[in-house]
Amino acid sequence: MTRLTLSKALNEGLRKALENDPKVLIMGEDVGKLGGVFRVTDGLQKDFGEARVVDTPLAESGIVGTAIGLALRGYRPVCEIQFDGFVFPAFDQITTQLAKMRYRSRGQLSLPVVIRIPCGGGIGAVEHHSESPEALFTHTPGLRVVACGDPADAYAMIQLSVISDDPVIFFEPKRRYWDRAEVDTSGGLAAALPLDRARVVVSGTDATVLCYGPMVKTCAAAAAAAEQEGRSLEVIDLRSLSPLDTDTIFESVRRTGRCVVAHEAPVTGGLGAEIAARITEECFYQLEAPVLRVGAFSTPYPPSKLEEHYLPDLDRVLDAVDRTFGY
Amino acid sequence: MTVKDAGRAASADSFRGGPPPESAEFIQLLTPEGERVEHPDYPLDISAEQVRALYRDLVLVRRIDFEAIALQRQGELGIWASLLGQEAAQVGSGQALEPNDMAFPTYREHGVAWCRGLDPVKLLELFRGVSHGGWDPREYNFHLYTIVIGSQTLHATGYAMGIQRDGAVGEDGEAVIAYFGDGATSQGDVNEAFIWASVTNAPVVFFCQNNQWAISEPLERQSRVPLYRRAQGFGFPGVRVDGNDVLACLAVTRKAMQAAREGQGPTLIEAFTYRMGAHTTTDDPTRYRLAAELETWKLKDPIERVKAYLVRTESADEKFFTALEAEAAELGTRIRKACQEMPDPSPLSIFDNVYAGPNALLESERDEYAAYLETFEEAVR
């Protein structure tokens, strides 16, 4: 076991992936000598060469489009999109090509491409550097969409994503990049929780809080605060946003009868809406209250001086939990 | 294979894998040593007073940049994108514009903003996180900063197409200038802008500041040919100018803008310059480039050469330089104070300006959030 930041854990995971399979490539803007603007690929070009860790031209559609071509030729590209708000030039390639090639080819073609996207706010950045566009991708059949929440999970999840035969959109919570935790880098992936499974972070009995990415830490802290007030929250890190691990979700909600879904993305049309609908359909008779959602307002991401109001925090999570007890 | 075909193949092969774009041939009117040189295509009749005015712009713009970097270091700004080294490209091109011309900047065009009369404090708002860009573009004919790389080149082209439809092309017509960098030339949007501008013969000038670096990536990662040569393939002229020569940038941009105004269509200007600082204050260029490179470029400093010219030709005296220094210090103090005193926006302003009119969903979210904030105030009481 070793204490690593989330950024370093991803770096170690990518290193393992590059070592394990010569077909694995890393490509993106500034991923080489600089090691990425968040240093996730630090040192990898030095150790694996410029043919495997590629500083690409500044063109996101090109990054994903050529990754698709490389995948068709048998490679496993891991693309880095520098910031969430810059993924959109590649949106066409992702939604019309990457997501649909297996279906179009009647299963004959696989595109094992990973697209890493630093996401979310809280770092005082300018426009387009703090967004949470996951719902745009979970709405696109054919993509696996995952979000890591802590270093140990990040280390395993990035490797599981690389070996996935489906394209994976991999969200990394940028305000958690420098959080440290114990990571076991010695073993293989055999003991790792599968990529499509959710994980109970805090066990509890009174209400279920569903979250992912940057909100996992917030919700775990909310559970600790609630415990002081004698309320037992179960916090589940969804990890996989598409497909959803509904078994784990439903089991918990049936037990607690109350559920809050928290994400940084706007509530309107967000992933929380899909989850709330599924829970309502499957757990209706066990619910003591409607599933409540905590997230951003239905506005663009504001200037950073206002982001503490825009981002759901511990208080807003607890406020929603309180409200579920008002029914 | 015919002899002719063989020749073609050979030339294609020699092109492939050939050397990276060589530095250097460009339009220059003022050498790094401050000597005035002539170029037959770009005669520039400029008075001592006008050169002094350009020098003043350069010095003040550098001062704004210096102050903003310091403000970021002190936690007053979230981030700053420095223009250090690119002052001549921005002031030269910015002062080539007529009041009715429209400019579409990236997020680094602080020098152009200055030329358009925008108070630098407005720029600080964006980098402090107080607004996304709070000026009225129509007031200055200077569009909002665009952060997504290259998007604004298409906006500039579309705006120019509007000028055509308004019948505002002609000798006293209007034209548009689109700013972008060397990295942006890889983006699809920029290439599409070239195509649109070409086929519509739009009155737009593409002003590329090739500062040699897209964050950590040198120009070789974006292009195997000098950037100005790309224009030919799209069907309009391309020209390379010494981007550290304010006189050349002024003359070349003025000519291209006039051609656009008169209906001769687009021009690509590659201003060959250097990003002397980091990409932004969060970047660390020592990780990817050698200090020696910076030293070489310091010898081509865009401001020093103008000063050398003014001194050599006795176009400015000590009094001028001293007064300018005082003016720069005063400007620095003013923007520093204004930045520190800038109020935070009110929390409920998050809900403003999402749509043209009232929106029921946003109104209910605003009311709910106002009530939620109230509960904290009650708790404090």
Summarised one tens digit per residue, pLDDT across range B46-97 is 999 999 999 999 999 999 999 999 999 999 999 999 999 999 999 999 999 9
| Total residue count of chain A as it appears in this document | 327
- What's the gap in Å between the CA of A125 and the closest CA on chain B? 7
Query: Which residues sit opposite A115 in a β-bridge?
Result: A79, A169
**Distance (Å, rounded) from C-alpha A149 to C-alpha A162?**
18
Q: What type of residue is B306?
A: V
Q: Are B123 and B110 in contact (CB under 8 A)?
A: yes
Decide the pairing of beta strands B213-214 and B217-218.
antiparallel
- What's the gap in Å between the CA of B267 and the closest CA on chain A? 22
A2-183 falls under which CATH superfamily?
Thiamin diphosphate (ThDP)-binding fold, Pyr/PP domains (3.40.50.970)
Which residues of A fall within a CB distance of 8 Å from B183? 57-58
Percent of chain A clearing pLDDT 90 (strictly above): 98
- Write the CB contacts of B276 (distance below 8 Å, at least 6 apart in sequence): B84, B85, B294, B297, B298
Assess whether pLDDT exceeds 60 at residue B17. no
pLDDT band at A1 (very low <50, low <70, confident <90, very high): confident
Which residues of A fall within a CB distance of 8 Å from B131? 303
| Bond into A243 cis (ω within 30) | yes
User: Would you call B79 and A125 a contact, using CB atoms and an 8 Å cutoff?
Assistant: yes
The predicted pLDDT at position B381 comes to 54
Assess whether pLDDT exceeds 70 at residue B13. no
Which residues of A fall within a CB distance of 8 Å from B149? 58, 86
User: Would you call B288 and A34 a contact, using CB atoms and an 8 Å cutoff?
Assistant: yes
3-state DSSP assignment of residue A78:
strand
For residue range B208-234, what is the model confidence (pLDDT) as tens digits? 999 999 999 999 999 999 999 999 999
**Distance (Å, rounded) from C-alpha B339 to C-alpha B198?**
42
Q: Are B58 and B90 in contact (CB under 8 A)?
A: no
CA-to-CA separations, A211 to A166, A312, B95, B131, in angstroms, rounded: 23, 11, 53, 30
The predicted pLDDT at position B378 comes to 72
Domain covering A199-324 in this structure, CATH number = 3.40.50.920
For residue range A173-222, what is the model confidence (pLDDT) as tens digits? 999 999 999 999 987 898 899 999 999 999 999 999 999 999 999 999 99
User: Would you call B147 and A127 a contact, using CB atoms and an 8 Å cutoff?
Assistant: yes
Which residues of B fall within a CB distance of 8 Å from A121? none
The average confidence (pLDDT) of chain B is 93
Q: Are A12 and A4 in contact (CB under 8 A)?
A: yes
Q: Are A249 and A183 in contact (CB under 8 A)?
A: no
Mean pLDDT of B24-44: 94
Both structure tokens of B325: 């220094």
Mean pLDDT of B20-38: 84
The predicted pLDDT at position A293 comes to 98
Q: Are B174 and B163 in contact (CB under 8 A)?
A: yes
Classify residue B200 as exposed, middle or buried by CB count within 10 Å of its CB (0-12, 13-18, 19+).
middle
A73 in B contact zone (CB under 8 Å) = no
The predicted pLDDT at position B7 comes to 40
Both structure tokens of B65: 């940049």
Assess whether pLDDT exceeds 90 at residue B9. no
Mean pLDDT of A266-271: 98
The average confidence (pLDDT) of chain A is 97
User: Would you call B345 and A306 a contact, using CB atoms and an 8 Å cutoff?
Assistant: yes
For residue range A5-51, what is the model confidence (pLDDT) as tens digits? 999 999 999 999 999 999 999 999 999 999 999 999 999 999 999 99
Q: Are B175 and B204 in contact (CB under 8 A)?
A: yes
For residue range B153-197, what is the model confidence (pLDDT) as tens digits? 999 999 999 999 999 999 889 999 999 999 999 999 999 999 999
The predicted pLDDT at position B6 comes to 41
Q: Write b or e for each residue in A282-294: b if 16 or more Cβ atoms lie within 10 A of its Cβ, otherwise e.
A: ebeeebeeebbbb
Which residues of B fall within a CB distance of 8 Å from A62? 186, 188
Decide the pairing of beta strands A53-55 and A199-202.
unpaired
Same fold, A2-183 and A199-324: yes
B224 in A contact zone (CB under 8 Å) = no
What is the set of active-site residues of A?
129
B65 in A contact zone (CB under 8 Å) = no
B285 in A contact zone (CB under 8 Å) = no
B132 in A contact zone (CB under 8 Å) = yes
pLDDT band at B301 (very low <50, low <70, confident <90, very high): very high
Q: Where exactly are the structural domains of chain A?
A: 2-183, 199-324
Percent of chain B clearing pLDDT 90 (strictly above): 91
- Phi/psi zone of residue B166: left (φ > 0), alpha (ψ -120 to 50 degrees), beta? alpha
**Distance (Å, rounded) from C-alpha B192 to C-alpha B198?**
10
The predicted pLDDT at position B380 comes to 60
- Interface ipTM > 0.85: yes
Assess whether pLDDT exceeds 50 at residue B259. yes
**Distance (Å, rounded) from C-alpha A38 to C-alpha A8?**
10
CA-to-CA separations, A251 to A227, A262, A263, A279, B344, in angstroms, rounded: 21, 18, 21, 10, 45
* Nearest CB to A57; choose among B128, B186, B216: B186
Measured in whole angstroms, the distance separating CA B241 from the mean position of its chain's CA atoms is 14
**Distance (Å, rounded) from C-alpha B372 to C-alpha A287?**
25
